Amino acid sequence: MASKRLIKELDAYNKDPSPALKALEPKSEDDLFHWVAVLRGPEGTAYEGGRFTLTITLPSTYPNTPPEIRFQTPICHPNVNFKTGEICLDLLKTSWTPAYGVVSTLEAVQQLLSAGGEPDSPLNIDLARLLREGDLVGAEGLVRFYTRMLAMPR
Amino acid sequence: MAPLVPPHTRPHGAGDTNSTNANNTRSKGAQSLQVITLSIPNPEWQGIGSSGDAQRINASISFNYLTSFDIRTLSTVGASNGNDVTGLLYVPDLDEGDPCTNSSAQYLPQNVTRQANLPNQDYQQIAIAPWTSGDCALSYMKAGRARLIQGILFFIPGNTSATPPDESDPVWDVNETRWKQENGFPVYAIPGQNAQILLEASAAYSGNMTDVPFGHQLTEYYDSRDYVRLYVDIDTGSSGSTLPSLWVFLLVVLGILLAIIGLTSLSMHLLQRRRRQNLRRRVASGEVDLEALGIKRLTVPQELLDTMPLYTYGTGAPVTQQSQKSASVQEEKLDGTKSTTLPASPPAATLLRSSSYRPSPLSQPTCAICLDDFVAASPGTEGTTVRELPCHHLFHPECCDTFLRDSSSLCPMCKRTVLPKGYCPKTITNAMVRRERMVRQVRERVSDDPDAAREVDENGLPLSRAARIRVRTFSGFSQLRPGRRISEQVSSGQQMQQLSSTAPIPPVPTTADSTAPLTQSNSISQAPLSTGPPPQVQPPATASRREWARQRAVDMLGERAPADPDAEETRTTSTWRKAVRGMFPGFRR
């Protein structure tokens, strides 16, 4: 069931690409369970202009269990681990339902970027601390710096 | 050998004396021998003026004797450590014509205490007799056995003060091998000199009170009709000698501690059990919603799934589990009848649930889980069998069953629970009880504090300081994007819209209540057989789409789906804590 649904999702994306994504495709032709996506940094935020590569690993029980999504491009966000790219989003864990798809989940990740994140359950403590202390300008600057340094095509 | 004696016969104080000279040898042999004088109430006169108890007579006006080192133990049968061998001293009467009576007479004083001189009551007795020969010894023991004596003291005639020979000495030879077992009472030997003293005393204390030494003085304190007799206490080594008293003390303390721990554990288990039952009751009555409070992530058992209606898509014809497998003919027939009398009126065939149940055909073109379109039943084609959840969302049974059974109890589309009200999972664990109490306490605190009550998230937990900052952060970030703030009037209808026609996004849970009836009303207004997409599938305009998605993300962040409290605790607690908690459930709270 998983591969059939993945093919459908991929077809649907190719027919109607999401503005949040620059690219979405399986890593290789014969492996449907590992995808690579390139996410656009949401406009009007400090991530604007960034191109973030994400790896998506789909379990064989998909869609009953959520896909595993990680940032490959380092990203400065309170809920993303800067080193491993692990994302703290309950959609990817407990509140997953099969009605979500890969594309909509990636869109949710993009919304996580524009929403600013939740400094309560941080994976990036430094940024979370700035946010908790209310230094929005500092946080914004830090994010902008890292986006420019790591996620912008030169 | 049954103790045939009132327990009070034993003199007070005798035991105290003995414990002082208990030494640490581990044998059941005699450690010491004490003889005291007792005043025993005369049973024939009992009642008037007599105390009823045997009393020890003060040592200054009575016979007292204590010897420690010169007792030889011949037989320990019937004696046990810690239990002194005690009884009134007397010389057994042999059978009439027994030659031993004569042979031993010279060693026994004339008026030594005999059976006839003891109170006519079953007091414990200890016999004393000379060991003139093995046969005579057997006779004495036989006579003693008939009186159920507690033990017997032998002495080898002669005025010697030496300790009698060892039990293996030929002196003690008896022409019978099993005499120890047969007699069943301990046998001791004392030096002849000591025996002489005892026998003389015994002779002195065999008559009336006035005849005994200090007799007249004694009558001042005791009833003159009382018996005054010798009482022997042979110390066989107290139990303290086998187990030092410090250890006994420690063991007692340990035992008490263990008992306290056991009782505490038991009561806590009982308490916890009561709380579990209480929680189960409240869940069953609908007072507590485990899922909504984030206490436990529920799943749906297969039996419950089986009760949810199955029918053929596009017809509303119910499909029972059995007919689904076996009767394709019946299904075709139903399809045939349906094609003529199509609109939403349910078929005359038996409905799975009550007659008020009305399927809502075609409200959904696709199964949200496998993204396959449902095929409507029409002449020639067989409709897809679909399962309708209580929220009227449709899925392939094979799709939603696995998800609901293994992962979640919420509808994948609207996140409303599919469990009936008051459903309670089979097992309620202590972790769930703890979490529920925690949630309840937080709620109580919040309701006590009206200021805090305003800042409560949907789980009933007050927003932490950081969460409030988060709210501020959002506004801060959006202020950085001028011109991007739009469409606060995103209605619940728009929120239901799907991002793409094939990948429906469930509406946010907070609006679930408003969306579900909407779905229903849509489906009713719709033409049942239209194959085009339902109107609500159109994606929103690009501008509002972004805002809509942003709000969704915000909602997703705020929503804390309940995890499994047991799994979480198993993960986070160390082994010893688990052990403590297993013993004392509810230890932390």
Q: What is the CA radius of gyration of chain B?
A: 49
Tell me the Ramachandran region of residue B13: left when phi exceeds 0, alpha when psi lies from -120 to 50, beta otherwise: left
Residue B475 is predicted with a pLDDT of: 39
- Has the ipTM of the complex gone over 0.85? no
Q: Do A98 and B549 touch (CB under 8 A)?
A: no
C-alpha–C-alpha distance, residues B580 and B573, integer Å: 11
Nearest CA in chain A to B499: A104
Residue B552 is predicted with a pLDDT of: 60
Amino acid letter for position B513: D
Q: Can you list the alpha helix ranges (DSSP code H) found in B236-320?
A: 245-284, 302-307
CA distance A70 to chain B (A): 17
Q: Do A44 and B484 touch (CB under 8 A)?
A: yes
Residue B257 is predicted with a pLDDT of: 96
Beta strands in B46-195 (DSSP E): 55-56, 65-67, 72-75, 85-90, 125-130, 151-155, 187-190
Q: Shortest CB distance from A116 goes to which of B407, B474, B503?
A: B474
C-alpha–C-alpha distance, residues B412 and B507, integer Å: 10
CA distance B560 to chain A (A): 7
User: In chain B, which residues have their Cβ closer than 8 Å to the Cβ of A107?
Assistant: 499, 549
Residue B411: name the closest of B388, B434, B439 by CA: B388
Instruction: Spell out, as residue ranges, where chain B has pLDDT lower than 70.
Output: 1-28, 44-52, 69, 81-82, 237-244, 314-363, 449-565, 586-589
Instruction: Spell out, as residue ranges, where chain A has pLDDT lower than 50.
Output: none
Provide the b/e sequence for B397-420 (b: ≥16 CB within 10 Å): bebbbbbbbebbbbbbbbbbbbbe
Give B330-366 as a DSSP string.
HHHHHHHHHHHS-SSPPPSSPPSS-TT----TTS-SB
C-alpha–C-alpha distance, residues B463 and B560, integer Å: 12
Q: Does A125 touch chain B if contact means CB atoms closer than 8 Å?
A: no
Burial (0-12, 13-18, 19+ Cβ within 10 Å), B168 = exposed
Of A20, A21, A88, A139, the active-site residue reads A88
Answer for the pair A46, A151: CB distance below 8 angstroms, yes or no.
no
Q: Do B552 and A95 touch (CB under 8 A)?
A: no
Residue B516 is predicted with a pLDDT of: 37
**CB within 8 Å of chain B, chain A residues 93-122:** 93-95, 97-101, 103-104, 107-108, 110-112, 114-120
Answer for the pair B411, B267: CB distance below 8 angstroms, yes or no.
no
Q: How many CB pairs below 8 Å do chains A and B form together?
A: 139
Q: Do A94 and B503 touch (CB under 8 A)?
A: no
Residue A2 is predicted with a pLDDT of: 79
Angle separating helix axes A136-150 and A125-132, nearest 10 degrees: 150
C-alpha–C-alpha distance, residues B23 and B413, integer Å: 87
Residue B81 is predicted with a pLDDT of: 67
Close Cβ partners of B336 (under 8 Å, ≥ 6 residues apart) = B379
pTM over 0.80? The answer is no
Residue B135 is predicted with a pLDDT of: 85
Amino acid letter for position A102: V
To the nearest whole percent, how much of chain A has pLDDT over 90?
Answer: 18
| pLDDT tens readout for residues A46-85 | 888 889 999 999 888 888 888 999 999 999 998 899 889 9
Query: Helices then strands (H, E): number in chain B?
Result: 19, 12
Nearest CA in chain A to B393: A99
Q: Do B473 and A119 touch (CB under 8 A)?
A: yes
| pLDDT tens readout for residues B434-460 | 888 888 888 888 777 655 444 444 444
| Residue A88 known to be catalytic | yes
Answer for the pair B393, B413: CB distance below 8 angstroms, yes or no.
yes
User: In chain B, which residues have their Cβ closer than 8 Å to the Cβ of A103?
Assistant: 499-500, 503
